[in-house]
Chains A and B, each alone.
Chain A
Amino acid sequence: MHNIVFAVIARDLRLALRRPADIASAVFFFVIVVSLFPLGIGPEVDLLRKLAPGVLWVAALLATMLSLPRLFADDHRDGTLEQLALAPHPLGLVVTGKVIAHWLISGLPLALIAPVLGIQFDLTADALLVLTGAILLGTPALSGIGAIGAALTLGLRGGGVLLSLLVLPLYIPVLIFGAGAVDATVSGLGGEGHLSLLAAMTIAAIGFAPWASAAALKIALE
């Protein structure tokens, strides 16, 4: 039963690693967007330190959005998706594998690079640790919720813009608690509560979102 999940993860990772430029471009998009903010706002360290969690999180949401259309589009174009839908395994498990693979390709690199960008914003060591933890915990939820949007907009005109219209409002809770965890740490309240809620959202999203995406894929493939 779970072999299908691991098989899909291994396959998607292998395909993604053959085109490393795609992974790198999303990561550099993240780096560039975050670096633009000090240029727009000004170099005052106090202000930047206050803005850092929100800026990093919004940039992470946008970078995730950027890689979402590819989640199903390539497989849809060459017919793989239809074969996967015809396979005897539940489509929800296949999508679970694809969501986890998407997180390994897009979410994990963001979490690894985020502390470096946090240093640019003069965050303390504690805050950097919580920021990394929050992005690690929160981005799987982004991949899961995003998969629903990617499946709903599969093969539509202007799919990318439409996808962001559908998905960004649903990302708001993750943004609030992700950035809130860092804010709470900086202000000395402790971010454990926020991190727990982020983890809860991620568990819920990984558990339920693939089945909703599978239903959306079946509608799109009809």
Chain B
Amino acid sequence: MTDRFNLYHYASPATFYPLAGRLIPWFAALAAIFGLIGLYIGMLVAPTDFQQGEGYRIIFIHVPASWMSMFIYLVMAFWAAIGLAFNTRLSGMMARALAPTGALMAFLSLWTGALWGKPMWGTWWVWDARLTSELILLFLYIGYMALVAAIDDPRRGDKAGGLLLLVGVVNVPIIYFSVKWWNTLHQGSSVNLAKSSMAEVMLWAMLLVALSFWMYSIAVAFARVRTLILERERNADWVKAELAGDRP
């Protein structure tokens, strides 16, 4: 039993803290490498679009940011479910640590979308299904952060926030489809596994930037979860030893 890799070993904040610290530089480096290659291909190698000109290149930020904003919400809901089911301490902290990054991605997606929409559609904002559901996703992130910030007891905050995330994740498809039936103008999804409407090189650039954002999100979430662990466990012996050791 002892020599088998034990996943639960790292469920404890005391063991996860140093692990996260060791992993952060790797994820940060991967984020930088993937980001540089992806943006190089996207900005310099990929051909100019025959319809949209050079302006379409913002898609290499826009689409990965949108993907990540949705994906991070799912990951948060996953951690929320784990936290509520197994009563683990670290899960709630992971959900909290991911929330600001998810909100940032949702905001980036809206912002780059507006910058793209002005030259292409002639307007910064339209009440289209995808834009509106992305905006609502941003509201959901903000609601989650406001709720956990308002609860002083961290354990209650984790659980209440977790429940809100689960309710949100059930509602996201309902919201998405109701908004979709309400109005649709956005161009169809550009990436489709069966038959992509994009040149292959563009797809590669987009996937590389998405990977870069993914690695970035992990690195930032780990950094944030480390500060959360220190804050929560400040009375534990290992934190006192850790902080004493850091001092010169």
| Interfacial residues, chain A to chain B (CB-CB below 8 A) | 148, 152-153, 156-159, 162, 165-166, 168-170, 172-173, 176-177, 180, 197, 201, 212, 215-216, 219-220, 222
Contacts and interface: CB of A to CB of B under 8 A. Distances in A.
Nearest to B153: A222
Interface residues of B, number: 24
Contacts of A177: 178
A177 B146 CA distance: 28
12 contacts: A148-B167, A152-B164, A165-B147, A169-B139, A169-B143, A172-B136, A173-B175, A180-B182, A212-B166, A219-B156, A219-B163, A220-B160
Contact of A166 (B143, B174, B179): B143
A197 B147 CA distance: 30
Contact of A172 (B142, B179, B181): B179
Interface hub of A153, A170, A212 (most chain B Cβ within 10 A): A170
A139 to B, nearest CB: 17
Contact of B151 (A156, A166, A168, A172): A156
A220 B156 contact: yes
Contacts of A162: 146-147, 150
A49 B151 CA distance: 44
Contacts of A176: 178-179, 181-182
A169 B140 contact: yes
A interface secondary structure, majority: helix
A153 B156 CA distance: 11
A220 B151 CA distance: 10
Contacts of A165: 139, 142-143, 146-147
Contact of B150 (A157, A169, A222): A157
A219 B147 contact: no
B178 A166 contact: no
Contacts of A180: 182
B171 A170 contact: yes
Interface in B134-167: 136, 139-140, 142-143, 146-147, 150-151, 156, 159-160, 163-164, 166-167
A85 to B, nearest CB: 15
A152 B160 contact: yes
B interface secondary structure, majority: helix
B150 A170 contact: no
The 10 A-B pairs at the shortest CB distance, nearest first, are namely: A173-B178, A169-B139, A219-B159, A166-B143, A165-B143, A176-B178, A156-B150, A176-B182, A152-B160, A165-B146
A173 B173 CA distance: 10
Nearest to A179: B182
Nearest to B151: A156
B163 A152 contact: yes
Contacts of A197: 178
A188 B228 CA distance: 57
Contacts of B13: none
B87 to A, nearest CB: 12
Contact of B167 (A159, A212, A219): A212
B38 interface: no
A169 B160 contact: no
A153 B139 contact: no
A156 B164 CA distance: 15
A219 to B, nearest CB: 4
A23 B151 CA distance: 30
Nearest to A154: B160
Nearest to B163: A216
A215 B85 CA distance: 12
B29 to A, nearest CB: 37
Contacts of A222: 156
